[in-house]
């Protein structure tokens, strides 16, 4: 799939997403949440964009800032029950799950 290499594919398989159809079925947000919980140090926000791009057929770097913000908000709500982003106050890091 577009945007996803061998390492991403292996990590997706480890969290129960083995095929492109599986990824489309669960969606980018759920896939990101699973990856973030299983591989917190390795799963960055670009993975969220890449997953969305893989599902929609768009290169992750071509996503608009509005789409990226909506993806971050949705992922934060799923992970922490609230919208919380990396800020200067938390050293530019996503909060721990």
Give pTM, 2 decimals: 0.81
Q: What are 23-80's pLDDT values in tens digits?
A: 999 999 999 999 999 999 999 999 999 999 999 999 998 999 999 999 999 999 998 8
Looking at residue 87, what is its pLDDT? 52
pLDDT of 95 strictly over 80: no
d(CA 72, CA 82): 11
Looking at residue 14, what is its pLDDT? 97
Burial (CB count within 10 angstroms: exposed 0-12, middle 13-18, buried 19+), residue 89: exposed
DSSP string over 5-29:
-HHHHHHHHHTT--SHHHHHHHHHH
d(CA 27, CA 8): 15
Looking at residue 27, what is its pLDDT? 95
CB hemisphere CA count around 74 (13 angstroms): 15
- Say how many C-beta atoms besides its own lie within 10 A of residue 53's C-beta: 21
For each of the domains in the chain, give its residue range(s) and CATH number, in order of start: 6-80 (1.10.150.20)
């Amino acid at each position: 799939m577009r945007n996803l290499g061998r390492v991403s594919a292996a990590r997706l398989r480890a969290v129960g997403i083995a095929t492109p159809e599986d990824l489309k079925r669960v969606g980018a947000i759920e896939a990101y949440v699973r990856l973030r919980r299983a591989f917190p140090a390795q799963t960055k926000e670009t993975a969220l964009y890449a997953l969305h791009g893989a599902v929609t057929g768009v290169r992750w770097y071509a996503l608009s800032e509005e789409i990226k913000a909506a993806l971050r908000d949705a992922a934060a709500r799923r992970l922490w029950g609230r919208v919380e982003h990396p800020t200067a106050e938390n050293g530019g890091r996503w909060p721990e799950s």
